[in-house]
Amino acid sequence: MISGQKLAGILRDHGFKVTPQRLAVYEVLAESQSHPNAEMLYNQLRPKYPSMSFATVYKTVEILSQLGLIKILNTGEGSSRYDAIISEHSHVQCNECGRVENVGPLSAADLDKEVAAKTGYKVEEKQFYFYGICGDCQKKQN
């Protein structure tokens, strides 16, 4: 997580306005383990920023992604989720409740080589998504 002061500097350096709402969106993402989507972010921030629009949240996550400060996760739900942990790591999502959690980096060197051999691509980045049923939902099922 970067500080608000550093984030403000990065935004300014790239020609973006620094607003309390933009700083708050990043702060919520940096402190969140739930990988929220834009609607979740909006609902969480609205009590503190009642005049903030959904468009502000959406535009902010696009800016943060463009600057490389967050990752956009496509978990197949129809809306993207966001993650402020930008180092390489994987995710697991519960098929019942939708919770998304981090999985540490996985060793995939052989997979990189196989993909490169089959496609001719030089693999620069990868994301793995795993799907299953979390422990809480398993308990509810039993």
pLDDT tens digits, one per residue of 69-127: 999 988 777 789 999 988 888 889 999 998 888 887 777 777 888 888 999 999 888 87
Q: What is the pLDDT of residue 79?
A: 80
**Rounded mean pLDDT of 32-51?**
94
Bridge partners of residue 91, in order along the sequence: 102, 129
Mean pLDDT of 9-22: 96
The whole-chain average pLDDT of the chain stands at 91
Inform me whether the pLDDT recorded for 41 exceeds 90: yes
What does the pLDDT average to over 36-45? 95
- Which of residues 105 and 66 earns the better pLDDT score? 66
Amino acid at 5: Q
Distance between CA atoms of 36 and 80, rounded to whole angstroms?
8
- What pLDDT score was predicted for residue 142? 84
**pLDDT for the residue 59:** 96
Query: Residues within the annotated binding site for Zn(2+)?
Result: 94, 97, 134, 137
Instruction: Give the position of tokens 């500097």.
Output: 9
Binding residues: 94, 97, 134, 137
What pLDDT was estimated at residue 129?
84
Q: Provide DSSP, 91-128.
A: EEEETTT--EEEE-----HHHHHHHHHHH---------
DSSP 82: E
**DSSP E strands: which ranges in 1-142?**
71-73, 81-83, 90-94, 100-103, 129-132
At residue 25's C-alpha, the angle toward residues 20 and 66, to 5°, is 105
List, in order, residues 6 or more apart from 16 with CB less than 8 Å away. Answer: 22, 63
Residue 83: phi and psi, rounded to 5, are -140, 125
Predicted confidence at residue 77, as pLDDT, reads 73
